[in-house]
């Protein structure tokens, strides 16, 4: 008997602001900028790319391009999208600084 696997869709777990915040915080803490951009893209898709594009002031096509695999969006683009998602970036001390 063969079992059918269902593709994993991270967007289906992004149903609360708390879940989104925890997810993005964890990905950001891992330090992989490509993965962070990809994570923002997953959340934007879960929230609706058209509404995020409108709220961020970016064109929908530009938003898709900025969040596509391998893209290197400008920092101000990331901040605009984060704000459109209702999220903000914060810096906290991890100790051991210069």
pLDDT digits (tens, 9 = 90+) for 63-72: 999 999 899 9
Number of domains the chain is built from = 1
Which of 11-20, 48-57, 74-83 is least confident?
Answer: 11-20
Give domain status of residue 1, yes or no.
no
Residue labelled with tokens 């999220």:
87
CB atoms < 10 A from the CB of 64, how many? 16
DSSP string, 30-87: HT-HHHHHHHHHHHHHHH-HHHHHHHHT--HHHHHHHTSTT----HHHHHHHHHHTT-
Q: Would 92 be classed as within a structural domain?
A: no
Token pair belonging to 39:
């994570």
Predicted pLDDT of residue 61: 95
Q: What is the mean pLDDT of the chain?
A: 89
pLDDT level of residue 98 (50, 70, 90 thresholds):
low
Task: Name the band, by pLDDT with cuts 50, 70 and 90, for residue 97.
Answer: low
Q: Which domain holds residue 37?
A: 10-84
């Amino acid at each position: 008997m063969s079992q059918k696997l269902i593709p994993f869709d991270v967007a289906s777990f992004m149903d609360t602001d708390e879940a989104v915040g925890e997810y993005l915080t964890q990905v950001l803490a891992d330090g992989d900028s490509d993965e962070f951009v990809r994570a923002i893209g997953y959340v934007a898709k879960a929230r609706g790319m058209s509404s995020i594009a409108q709220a961020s002031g970016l064109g929908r096509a530009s938003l898709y391009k900025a969040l596509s695999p391998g893209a290197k969006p400008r920092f101000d683009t990331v901040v605009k999208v984060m704000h459109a998602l209702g999220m903000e970036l914060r810096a906290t001390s991890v100790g051991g600084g210069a």
